[in-house]
Amino acid sequence: MYDADVIRVPMASPGDVSGIAALFDAGKLAPEHVRAVFAQTEGDGYARGYASQSVEILLSERLGWPRSRVNAEIPFLMIGGTAGIMCPHWNLFVRRPAEGKARPRGKRLALGVRTSRVLAPEEYGKVRMVRVVADTTRAAMREAGIASARDVHCVEVKCPAMTPARIQDAQRRGKRVVNTNPAAASSMAKGASALGVALALGEVSRGKLTDAAICRDWALHSEVASTSAGGEQVACRVVVIGNSRQSVSDLVAGHGVMRDQLDLEGASRAFRSAGLQVKDGSVVPAGRRRVAAVFVNAGADFAPGVRGRRHTMHSDFLWSYSGWQAKAVAHAVVSAMVGDTLLLASAGAEHQGPPGANLICVIARAA
Amino acid sequence: MYDADVIRVPMASPGDVSGIAALFDAGKLAPEHVRAVFAQTEGDGYARGYASQSVEILLSERLGWPRSRVNAEIPFLMIGGTAGIMCPHWNLFVRRPAEGKARPRGKRLALGVRTSRVLAPEEYGKVRMVRVVADTTRAAMREAGIASARDVHCVEVKCPAMTPARIQDAQRRGKRVVNTNPAAASSMAKGASALGVALALGEVSRGKLTDAAICRDWALHSEVASTSAGGEQVACRVVVIGNSRQSVSDLVAGHGVMRDQLDLEGASRAFRSAGLQVKDGSVVPAGRRRVAAVFVNAGADFAPGVRGRRHTMHSDFLWSYSGWQAKAVAHAVVSAMVGDTLLLASAGAEHQGPPGANLICVIARAA
Amino acid sequence: MYDADVIRVPMASPGDVSGIAALFDAGKLAPEHVRAVFAQTEGDGYARGYASQSVEILLSERLGWPRSRVNAEIPFLMIGGTAGIMCPHWNLFVRRPAEGKARPRGKRLALGVRTSRVLAPEEYGKVRMVRVVADTTRAAMREAGIASARDVHCVEVKCPAMTPARIQDAQRRGKRVVNTNPAAASSMAKGASALGVALALGEVSRGKLTDAAICRDWALHSEVASTSAGGEQVACRVVVIGNSRQSVSDLVAGHGVMRDQLDLEGASRAFRSAGLQVKDGSVVPAGRRRVAAVFVNAGADFAPGVRGRRHTMHSDFLWSYSGWQAKAVAHAVVSAMVGDTLLLASAGAEHQGPPGANLICVIARAA
Amino acid sequence: MYDADVIRVPMASPGDVSGIAALFDAGKLAPEHVRAVFAQTEGDGYARGYASQSVEILLSERLGWPRSRVNAEIPFLMIGGTAGIMCPHWNLFVRRPAEGKARPRGKRLALGVRTSRVLAPEEYGKVRMVRVVADTTRAAMREAGIASARDVHCVEVKCPAMTPARIQDAQRRGKRVVNTNPAAASSMAKGASALGVALALGEVSRGKLTDAAICRDWALHSEVASTSAGGEQVACRVVVIGNSRQSVSDLVAGHGVMRDQLDLEGASRAFRSAGLQVKDGSVVPAGRRRVAAVFVNAGADFAPGVRGRRHTMHSDFLWSYSGWQAKAVAHAVVSAMVGDTLLLASAGAEHQGPPGANLICVIARAA
């Protein structure tokens, strides 16, 4: 039995941890209960590094741990690049003792956080990585107290990115990496991670998982996996979000799939799955106040168009930011439905839902 | 009595006029009935110029007119810059003789197209420009056969932009331009144009219109004006869209205002205003098939945030494209409602609705 | 015997052909003597299209030819994307009858312009394309009256780019393209074109030219080839620039190679090769006035750094414009040497000089 | 009597301080001798913040000081945004006791580092700021042991930037800021800082310095001031670089002015001023090995063109990065002269040299 919480904190800039510090100062949150940090940061990769360093220093000071221990024990999942009406913010994943809190009816928000063993660059993007992520996901489910895959509503994975230095390291040791283009290899690492989640949850069968299928056979995918890669990671960091009878949380999780950017019914299902009422295409006002967090994993840039119409995300001058555009669009549509822009949107489509889909996880106060 | 139509034609690139040529070739549209062209083009200002030149050449060839006459008689309103899931396309504004078509019940789509006198650079962005646009709007209403301002649902204006050469020209003649920064002066020209529409439609009273109020007193605005500026223009090109008993069109126009990017109810009103049914936050399938065109004038970049949350459109690295981001967001939300991305989105907020609002015009087949 | 000329004309925007028209109007240039157009245009690919269409219309009107004939007979080589202190301009390649002009001492500027047969998409980037370009280069040399490869100082090639539509076309016919990624395949087409020049000039031996060597074996390269690809091309357009006794031109051509961005001595050799004196690292004032045109093919983005120092052209946020940065840098260094920024800089390194090198062609009035 | 040094350290990314740590670890540099840090960082403003935080943490750990004391005592002057062949690196300004080092002949590198009093937002960009910077510059000269303005070769100033919050703060207190546009006001703060240096060095007379002259009368300027603004600063941080008999440094400083981007003679003067020989437009090989640091303050984006030719830095799509382009161009030209790209280039032209000029400071080992 444990209590779980997700706390959203706006940030004024990538280095702004004052909102988190204020929670600590006010006694509303104990630093030792922060199990993972999931952030929407403005700016590019350097801003992500800045944000990570800032929260690492804060936790190091408050916990009295060296920074290396903070880094080892508390995964930071930083999603950079905001556009449109996206609003930078922190999501703190919190677990604390139940401490006599009454057992609620039904299953409540369950969180499991696990880090895999260190992976060698030559394992990235291959079936070996799929298996490692599957094992880590199962371990995180156990920690969360989730027995059935049906109770998992989102799995966030931060896996290692391929870098030129890692390619050279593998080659020096006579090993073959999945692709010598770092971006392509990193994409395959994200794909393998998503398939790892799918394997753990029974969404794909082990027999279909071959090296050749990774980032090729898009029929294989997870409907709850959201993966990103970082050059600073050497292992896979996994956060499982679902519901469990072992949790006394005030919150419940749910999810849904938008099959394309216009699929409002898919988005509605995500909100209903978390116990919220949707009317006239929107979450009703009473439900809006109960929303604790929304995570949207956007896939528009993975499809050449929408319902037969082309878009210009890849052909136009700004094509290098296609993922940012995909996030901005999915974020806007879901924000309009819930009347708030404090939603986290990530981009990533490798085996994360069918091509062009958005995956949505909603966490809300139980009725 | 006349017939009016709006025809949407997808374009494969800024120079692609093959879809329009195909309509001419198939006898579905006579070149002489094209009264104005309103296009959503990908790319930057050079792409807009390319698109204009391409359609100008096509019309010149088909009408047997020199290019200068095409340019003088047929306004081209090119909106550049697509992002997100926006889809480049042409909107052809068409007027043809009624030719015995039966008079329908009620008012139908009415179009009026007028070009103002040439304006001197020192008039841009001032009350004199407001009056010129108001006069031109009234003339276009008369041409459309619209007697009441309530029957106007959209007024598109392309006004001259300020350029360094025009500033020098004015200064050589001892005249004072409204601002020596071309971008700021052009913004004021757009604001003055919007107030010209507002004056013609009685949305603001003449007494409040002073030079000092332009781009300062945002309480003054039009709910149907959409204005943009082009360095190639020397006069204001005005297209009035509304409904009239003098039209035998199959279409009707309507409009609505989204007070912010999340205001789904405001968007619903626009669709209902054109006779379409909205259910569960979406236009019903039968209604979707009746949609002829949707124009969204986006204003998100004019507000520092949405419902108390900040956005990063101005502070972030990509700030120079803030208008593109505003368009992408507004376009996505409205597209989701109608299940199609072939909507035209422009950005521009100077006296075009209250700050941060989107103005929406819907043209649909009458029931 | 013929006369040859290269005329530089600044342009105020991608659609500005007024400077060319003025030459025609003043009788300084006859439209029928324009054999090819080589332009430095600001903006992106749409701006290139706009510039092409603009000059095509002008030549169509002045020659009384349909646009299709202009396009077939007069190659347009448009280099888009200006940065730094680059200055957009046209270079007109002109050939006219000698008309009694006295035969000068020595060899003078020789121009040959040829278009290859139409290539199928499955030929792009392969040895078959190498051979086609070699044949076309030889034909252009014959037309120019150049017998020896040593008299060739620059070969500009515009080859077809691979596009998604062309890949589909090949696949429908059961043919295999060199790479299903359009950018990668286009890069290989540029590489094959450069090797075609190298083969024609004897810079590489036929025996080393295998499909596998293209865009892999960088030891194979030309020191005078400059190639770019365009989706609008179906064949290879080749312009050979050199010196010949059959020319009565007032100009002579020369070339040199900067082995990296700091190699001022390499740039000096280019100017000296065209008969200009370089002193204290600069072309002497009297020589500057004799410069008719300078073409710089920049390669900085093809090397990970310069003399052991890294650069950020690929890793940084702006990496998608790495070629533009390479052009800006090479252009600045060479401009400083000649005291003028009206130089044309292109980017492209596939077998065009050793990796990281700049190729420089100088055309100047003979002493 | 003191010793002074400038140490260049390449950085692999904005957070990479490993090269500095290695100097500390090897005993080559004592942390307490670092008096200021001047860095060329890749990326945007977030990367600058990341770099500042990284070096602040390192110095805090090594000095045993709280981060606030590091920040108060050691100015960080971070120049973000690399392009072209620019190479990110740290410049450490070092002062240490002379410790029996023999007094050299002539004047040697002298460094003075001072921080002004805190300035109120309403003072930014006005004559009051000019005076504060002038006083701080004189204090830094005294600390450096420089008596004559002729011995000053570079003054780097980091002044506070205007921000929306600071504007609101001033307005709440009933004070008037110099411009309500933060960018315009920050530009004026940089201009006032440069004029402060000019006043201290006698380059402009006090009588000409009025509020109206700031960022208007470009005839007033300094030939050694290089200023930038940061929202994190509340006071002006000033580093004076010159030569003094009180220094026993192995280095000497010099400077020169390039009146435009092609002025190689101006760049040559800077190298010669630091005792280096320039031949054939380049620093001779023996001289190249003596170069300790080069700082280039680029101004190309402040002029509409170069020697009568336009550039596209402001008109083109990428105009928001015009300063980056100016830096890339100036950096390339000077790098070619010295055969190395490890030069620091900043952009900023407000009263820093005549419009369009580059200011160059060279620090080299004395012969």
Q: How many CB atoms lie within 10 A of CB A150?
A: 11
Average pLDDT of the segment spanning B46-67: 96
User: Closest Cα partner for B313 from B261, B265, B364?
Assistant: B261
User: Closest Cα partner for B146 from B191, B99, B107?
Assistant: B107
How many CA atoms, within 13 angstroms, populate the side-chain half-sphere of residue C52?
Answer: 25
Shortest CA gap D40–chain C (Å): 12
The minimal CB distance from D46 to the residues A50, A57, A317 is found for: A50
**DSSP string covering B95-112:** EEE-TTPPPPSS-EEEEE
Shortest CA gap B140–chain C (Å): 32
Query: A 157-186 residues with CB below 8 A of B?
Result: none
How far is Cα of residue D23 from the mean position of the Cα atoms in its chain? Answer: 23
The H-or-E segment that residue C309 falls in is strand C309-310
The minimal CB distance from D307 to the residues C43, C318, C340 is found for: C340
Shortest CA gap B315–chain D (Å): 10
Strand-pair category, D278-279 with D344-347? unpaired
CB-neighbour burial class of residue B326 (10 A; exposed 0-12, middle 13-18, buried 19+): buried
Shortest CA gap C186–chain B (Å): 19
Is B41 at the interface with chain A, CB within 8 A? no
CB-neighbour burial class of residue B192 (10 A; exposed 0-12, middle 13-18, buried 19+): buried
Rounded Cα distance between D17 and D5, Å, is 19
Phi first, then psi: give them for residue D257, nearest 5 degrees. -125, 125
Give pLDDT, residue C320.
60
The minimal CB distance from B14 to the residues C42, C46, C57 is found for: C46
Give long-range contacts, CB 8 A cutoff, 24+ apart: A29-32.
Answer: A29/A92, A29/A94, A30/A96, A31/A59, A31/A62, A31/A63, A32/A63
Answer whether residue D317 shows pLDDT above 70.
Answer: no
Cβ-Cβ contacts under 8 Å, D317 against chain B? 44
The H-or-E segment that residue A14 falls in is none
The minimal CB distance from C317 to the residues A44, A317, A319 is found for: A44
Q: Kindly report which listed range (B91-100, B153-162, C124-133, D317-326) carries the lowest average pLDDT score.
A: D317-326
Tokens of A51: 């944000």
Shortest CA gap B65–chain C (Å): 15
Please give the residue of chain C at the shortest CA–CA distance from B46. Answer: C47
Answer whether residue A45 shows pLDDT above 90.
Answer: no
- C85, C259, C294: best to mutate for the D interface, most D CBs within 10 A: C85
**SS3 at position A25:** helix
Average pLDDT of the segment spanning D55-71: 97
Q: How would you label A70-106 residue by residue, b for 16+ Cβ within 10 Å and e otherwise?
A: bbeebbbbbbbbbbbbbbbbbbbbbbbeeeeeeeeee
Is B320 at the interface with chain C, CB within 8 A? no
Contact by Cβ (8 Å): B121, B169: yes
ipTM (interface pTM): 0.95
Indicate the DSSP class of residue B307: T
Percent of chain B whose predicted confidence (pLDDT) is above 90: 90
Cβ-Cβ contacts under 8 Å, D53 against chain A? 15, 50, 53-54, 57
User: Which residue blocks in D245-357 are alpha helix, DSSP H?
Assistant: 264-273, 285-288, 322-338
Contact by Cβ (8 Å): C219, C143: no
**SS3 at position C20:** helix
* Helix-then-strand count for chain A, H and E: 9, 16
Average pLDDT across chain B, whole number: 96
Rounded Cα distance between A195 and A188, Å, is 10
Give pLDDT, residue D363.
98
Cβ-Cβ contacts under 8 Å, A50 against chain D? 14-15, 46-47, 49-50, 53
Cβ-Cβ contacts under 8 Å, B339 against chain A? 262, 307
User: Closest Cα partner for D340 from D301, D294, D303?
Assistant: D294
Tokens of A60: 């190091």
The minimal CB distance from C49 to the residues B44, B50, B317 is found for: B50
Q: How would you label B270-284 residue by residue, b for 16+ Cβ within 10 Å and e otherwise?
A: bbbbbbbebeebbbe
| A264/B305 CB distance under 8 A | no
Average pLDDT across chain D, whole number: 96
Is C88 at the interface with chain B, CB within 8 A? no
Is C320 at the interface with chain A, CB within 8 A? yes
Rounded Cα distance between A131 and A193, Å, is 9
Tokens of D15: 């957070």
Indicate the DSSP class of residue C109: E
User: Which candidate in D158, D222, D226, D247 is catalytic?
Assistant: D158
Q: pTM for this one? A: 0.94
Is C231 at the interface with chain D, CB within 8 A? no
Give pLDDT, residue A98.
95
Rounded Cα distance between C274 and C249, Å, is 14
The H-or-E segment that residue C74 falls in is none
Cβ-Cβ contacts under 8 Å, B167 against chain D? none
Please give the residue of chain C at the shortest CA–CA distance from A317. Answer: C44
Phi first, then psi: give them for residue C66, nearest 5 degrees. -65, 155
Cβ-Cβ contacts under 8 Å, A42 against chain D? 46
The minimal CB distance from D325 to the residues C84, C282, C317 is found for: C84
User: Closest Cα partner for B4 from B286, B272, B255, B244?
Assistant: B244
Catalytic residue list contains C268: no
Tens-of-pLDDT digits for all 367 residues of chain C? Answer: 999 999 999 999 999 999 999 999 999 999 999 999 999 999 888 999 999 999 999 999 999 999 999 999 999 999 998 999 999 999 999 999 998 899 999 999 999 999 999 999 999 999 999 999 999 999 999 999 999 999 999 999 999 999 989 999 999 999 999 998 898 999 999 999 999 999 999 999 999 999 999 999 999 999 999 999 999 899 999 999 999 999 999 999 999 999 999 999 999 999 999 999 999 999 999 999 999 999 999 999 889 899 999 998 887 765 567 888 999 999 999 999 999 999 999 998 999 999 999 999 999 999 8
Is A55 at the interface with chain D, CB within 8 A? no
User: Which candidate in B52, B228, B273, B322 is catalytic?
Assistant: B228
User: Residues A130-165: pLDDT tens digits?
Assistant: 999 999 999 999 999 999 999 999 999 999 999 989
Answer whether residue B6 shows pLDDT above 90.
Answer: yes
Tokens of A207: 């027999």
Tell me how many degrees the CA angle B257-B259-B260 measures, rounded to the nearest 5: 125
Catalytic residue list contains C228: yes
Rounded Cα distance between D193 and D349, Å, is 12
CA distances from A223 to A146, A270, A334 (A): 17, 12, 17
Longest dimension (CA), chain D: 60
Give pLDDT, residue B318.
56
Cβ-Cβ contacts under 8 Å, A46 against chain D? 13-15, 42-44, 46-47, 50
- C320, C321, C322, C324: best to mutate for the A interface, most A CBs within 10 A: C320
In degrees to the nearest 10, what's the CA dihedral of A167, A170, A171, A175?
Answer: -130
Rg (CA), chain B: 19
Is D231 at the interface with chain A, CB within 8 A? no
Cβ-Cβ contacts under 8 Å, C317 against chain A? 44
Phi first, then psi: give them for residue B78, nearest 5 degrees. -105, 125
| C261/D305 CB distance under 8 A | no
Residue B348 bridge partners (DSSP): none
Contact by Cβ (8 Å): D346, D297: yes
Give pLDDT, residue C321.
76
Q: How confident is the model at residue A194 (pLDDT cuts 50, 70, 90)?
A: very high
Report the sign of the C-alpha dihedral through residues A195, A199, A205, A208, in that order. Answer: positive
Is B232 at the interface with chain C, CB within 8 A? no
Tokens of A329: 């669009």
Is A315 at the interface with chain B, CB within 8 A? yes
Please give the residue of chain A at the shortest CA–CA distance from C43. Answer: A317
User: Which residue blocks in chain D are alpha helix, DSSP H?
Assistant: 18-25, 45-63, 67-73, 127-144, 164-172, 182-200, 264-273, 285-288, 322-338
Answer whether residue B317 shows pLDDT above 80.
Answer: no
Contact by Cβ (8 Å): B4, B36: no
Only one residue has tokens 């869209």, namely B241
Contact by Cβ (8 Å): D218, D178: no
**SS3 at position A211:** helix
Give pLDDT, residue B319.
52
**DSSP string covering A229-250:** EETT-SS-EEEEEEEETTB--S
Rounded Cα distance between D237 and D73, Å, is 10
| C10/D328 CB distance under 8 A | no
| D49/A15 CB distance under 8 A | yes
